[in-house]
Amino acid sequence: MSEVERTSNETALNAVYLAELRDHALTLVWMGYQRMLPADYSKAEEDTITGELARHMDEITQDETAPLWTEHYSVKEQVRSHTSDKFGKRRPIVDIEFERHKRGKRPRLRFEAKRLGRGATVADYCGGEGLGAFVDCHYSRTHNEVGMLGYVQTGTEHHWSTKLEAELVPRVHGVIVGGEWKRVESVDGPPHTFQTIHKDKRAVNFFLLHVLLGFARLSINDTPPGA
Each residue's pLDDT tens digit, 128-186: 999 999 999 988 899 999 999 999 999 999 999 999 999 999 999 999 999 999 999 99
Each residue's pLDDT tens digit, 179-220: 999 999 999 999 999 999 999 999 999 999 999 999 998 754
pLDDT at 2 over 60: no
| % of the chain beyond a pLDDT of 70 | 86
117-140 burial: b if 16+ Cβ within 10 Å, else e: beebebebbbeeebbbbbbebbbe
* Torsion sign over Cα 90, 200, 202, 105: positive
Find the mean pLDDT for residues 71-93.
78
Q: In what order do the strands lie in the sheet with 182-183?
A: 73-80, 93-100, 108-116, 145-152, 205-214, 193-199, 182-183
pLDDT at 227 over 90: no
State the pLDDT at residue 220: 43
> Among 16-20, 172-176, 220-224, which stretch is predicted with the lowest mean pLDDT?
220-224
pLDDT at 89 over 70: no
Where do the DSSP E strands lie in the chain?
73-80, 93-100, 108-116, 145-152, 182-183, 193-199, 205-214
